[in-house]
Amino acid sequence: MDFSNSVLGNSLINMYGNFGLLDYSFGVILTMKQLDIISWNSLIRACHNAGHQGLALEQFYRMRITELLPDQFTSSILISIDLFSKCNRLEDSVQLFREEYQLGSALCSSMISSYARQGLGEEALGLFVLTWRKNLRPTEYMVSCLLSCFSSVLQVELGNQIHSLVLKLGFESDAIVANSLVGMYAKFGSIYDALNIFNEIRRDLISWNTILMGLTYNGEVSAAMDLFSELIGKGMPPDRITLYAVLQACNYGSLVDEGIQILSSMEKELGVKPEKQHYAFAVELFGRAGRLKEAIDIIMETMPHKTARLEVNSLYMRNF
């Protein structure tokens, strides 16, 4: 069918996209004689809504080849999921940012997120300062991204200043911001500051995972194990990240029996299928304790056969 009427064609692209029928959206595109900016925006949004970020970005580049310039709607699609950032195309994020004549909180948040994902803390902070000078109110997401950039003890003062700003803006009750503060202080080695924030916030599983990882990396093995027991006692199901942190704590603290118990109960009792990294911590834990036979037995009983053979070989290589 020839959808020479662009209004009809664009409407169909949108409709099929809303139902996740991307094949039909592309089918309409192929029959249209001329594509305008609305056509491309519709197709980019359809790919984005269906969870195909790379495909959405590909349509954006195809649009640029036609020499059509993105409009505000194009920018809003690309900015609202940090599309460039998630696809590791920072240079394109910067270019789109420079092409925008009117700064907004959403655009600045997206760029700060892009910088943060690439570990460019100075650029993220510089843009945040610019946003503040332009009298644009920071968003919770913007502040959270900025906090994630701070990881060095040399940045403690900056982190403290942003924390003060969080309080001034009233963002301390936002879960994402609070979790970012917990993670930041844990990376600074200020684990008690992290715990103080954790104890005051409304906790979700991300909060628990963040503090468990922080305690583990700061050598607070006993506190991490106690907190894990508290989590289980509250009936909150752990996920793979929770158990990654706890098995790592067992490894650091040479808690062999605890590690065996956790690994053995992961799938049946906790509902989390062990992954390679979980097994790797267990193998290292057994090896350190000199309990090679037990290590091999539990690996062969619980791991997929091919993976198990590789881990057993690795265990032998490290201990003989």
pLDDT digits (tens, 9 = 90+) for 262-308: 888 888 888 888 887 787 777 778 777 777 776 666 666 666 555 55
CATH number of the domain enclosing 277: 1.25.40.10
d(CA 151, CA 180): 11
Confidence of residue 239 (pLDDT cuts 50, 70, 90): very high
Domain that holds residue 300: 203-320
pLDDT of residue 97: 65
Residue 289: inside a domain: yes
pLDDT per residue over 185-235, tens digit each? 998 889 999 999 999 988 999 999 999 999 999 999 999 999 999 999 999
Q: What is the mean pLDDT of the chain?
A: 81
Question: Mean pLDDT, to the nearest integer, of 112-116?
Answer: 80
> Would 316 be classed as within a structural domain?
yes
Domain boundary among 16, 33, 68: 68
Span 152-169, average pLDDT: 85
Please work out, in degrees rounded to the nearest 5, the angle formed at the alpha carbon of residue 49 by the alpha carbons of 44 and 55: 45
> What CA–CA distance (Å, rounded) separates 52 from 242?
28
Between CA 74 and CA 115 the distance in angstroms is: 21
In this structure, is residue 21 part of a structural domain? yes
Q: Position of tokens 């922080």?
A: 214
Domain count within the chain: 2
Is 218 within a domain? yes
- Return the sign of the alpha-carbon dihedral for residues 148, 152, 158, 160: positive
pLDDT at 99: 61
Residue 311 pLDDT more than 60?
no
Using the predicted structure, report yes or no on whether residue 3 has a pLDDT greater than 50.
no
DSSP 102: S
* 314 inside domain: yes
The residue from 68, 100, 116 where one domain ends is 68
Maximum C-alpha span of the chain? 74
Residue 81 included in any domain: no
Greatest mean pLDDT among 106-115, 236-245, 260-269: 236-245
Give the model's pLDDT for residue 101.
47
| Residue 278 domain flag | yes
What is the structure's pLDDT at 197? 94
Choose one of 68, 103, 124: the last residue of a domain: 68
Q: Is residue 217, in this structure, part of any structural domain at all?
A: yes
Statement: residue 13 has pLDDT above 80: yes
pTM over 0.85: no
